[in-house]
Amino acid sequence: MTLATAIATGDLTQLPSRRDEDWRWTDLRGLIRVLPAASPAFDGDVGAGPFAADETVTIVNGHGPAAIAIPAGEARTVALRVVAATDGTAHAARLSVTLGQGARLTLLESHEGRAASYLTQTDLDVSLGEDAALERIVLVADHAEAVTIVDAAVTLAAGASFDQTILTAGARRQRIETRVSHPGQGAAVRLDGAYLLRDQRHADLTTVVTHAGRDGTTSQLTKGVVRDQARGVFQGRIVVERGADGTEARMGHHALILSDRAEVDAKPELLIFTDDVQCAHGNTVGALDEAAIFYARQRGMPEDVARAMLTEAFVGEVVERIEHEGAREIARAWVSQQLGAGE
């Protein structure tokens, strides 16, 4: 039951609704009453993307390459652009990303809305060989009227590492889901994210990490800033299966609500089926610390500058964890722009 199946079959009952527990805060069935026509192939100019890399893979309106494969032992940086270019149409795309043994990939992924009110689902099947390493940085810039889903299923082999940072400004309704099957055995996962929302935008960052083997680590940090009537959703689930001893998993979600009508919903879950584990999660939701603002003002800083600085520092923690330097700079600039816009 997904948006992609609904688009493919035209059957509205395939849309997830609030009655589905994992979709209770991101209702699609109540929102989408009519499925728009399929997006046509688009061969116009889609301009430049936010990331620069030697190699660029572009998918426009669901049309483009279906696979990125990095052979064993190679190291590459690839920019992946997923562009929606037509108003009021729907499409789905599926891409597989495969890394051979010991391969390294920095995937600079951007979702670009160059039209309004489109419906899209992008599925990524990611598979990492032994000791492979993938850093995935996802910048999602959808139109305010768009409904989008980005769903990544990631499979790791022993010793592999997967690092991910998602940065999004939301859409009319948006869900970015990452499901990781974690084999343990020295594999390591970092799943970070930041959602900076305003107006009536909505963003849902959902993650599921399933630890199936011994000695795996997962570290997760998600931060959110919502204002106006925006709604941020975080659902994080860490499953430690029987036998996955020595697992270490930490999850943090922290959100700032900067207006009286914004909303943040969170569900940080731990499902543990063995005893030799160290798992923890922390979740905070609140406003900016008035004492910190007072401190800054006392030192001569105007209140709006103090608020902007504290908010930026709050999100900064996620940005600093990005390893790719170029992407980190772009992420930093994006955060300042998102927080500054409309002030």
Partner 1 sequence: MAAVKETVAAVADLEKYQHGFVTDIEQDFAPKGLSTDIVRFISAKKNEPEWMLAWRLEAYERWLALEEPDWAKVNYPKIDYQDSYYYAAPSRKAGPMSLDEVDPDILETYKKLGIPLREQEVLAGVQGAPRYAVDAVFDSVSVVTTFKKELAAVGVIFCPISEAIREHPELVRKYLGSVVPVSDNYFACLNSAVFSDGSFVYIPPGVRCPMELSTYFRINAKDSGQFERTLIIADKGSYCSYLEGCTAPMRDENQLHAAVVELVILEDAEIKYSTVQNWYPGDPVTGKGGIYNFVTKRADCREARAKVSWTQVETGSAITWKYPSCVLRGDGSSGEFYSIAVTNGHQQADTGTKMIHLGANTKSRIISKGISAGKSSNTYRGLVSAHPKAVGSRNFTQCDSLLIGKDCAAHTVPYIEARNGQSVFEHEATTTRLSDDQLFYCQQRGLDTESAVALLVNGFVREVLQELPMEFAVEAQKLVAISLEGSVG
Task: State the residues that interact with partner 1 by CB under 8 A.
Answer: 21, 242, 255, 257-287
**Strand ranges, E, within the chain:** 55-60, 67-70, 75-84, 90-99, 104-113, 119-128, 133-141, 147-156, 161-168, 173-182, 188-197, 202-211, 217-226, 231-240, 247-257, 263-272, 277-286
**Residue 43 beta carbon to partner 1: minimum distance, rounded to whole angstroms:** 45
**Residue 214 beta carbon to partner 1: minimum distance, rounded to whole angstroms:** 13
**Residue 243 beta carbon to partner 1: minimum distance, rounded to whole angstroms:** 8
Closer CB to partner 1, residue 144 or residue 279?
Answer: 279
Query: Which candidate, 157, 97, 98, 155, places its Cα nearest to that of 131?
Result: 157
Residues in a beta bridge with 175: 149, 204
**Residue 37 beta carbon to partner 1: minimum distance, rounded to whole angstroms:** 36
**Residue 230 beta carbon to partner 1: minimum distance, rounded to whole angstroms:** 11
Closer CB to partner 1, residue 145 or residue 265?
Answer: 265
Closer CB to partner 1, residue 284 or residue 337?
Answer: 284
Closer CB to partner 1, residue 71 or residue 243?
Answer: 243
Closer CB to partner 1, residue 38 or residue 277?
Answer: 277
Element (H, E) at 317: helix 303-320
Question: Which whole-number Å values give the CA distances from 32 to 19, 60, 145, 150, 336, in the listed order?
Answer: 15, 23, 12, 17, 33
- Tokens 């409904």 sit on residue: 147
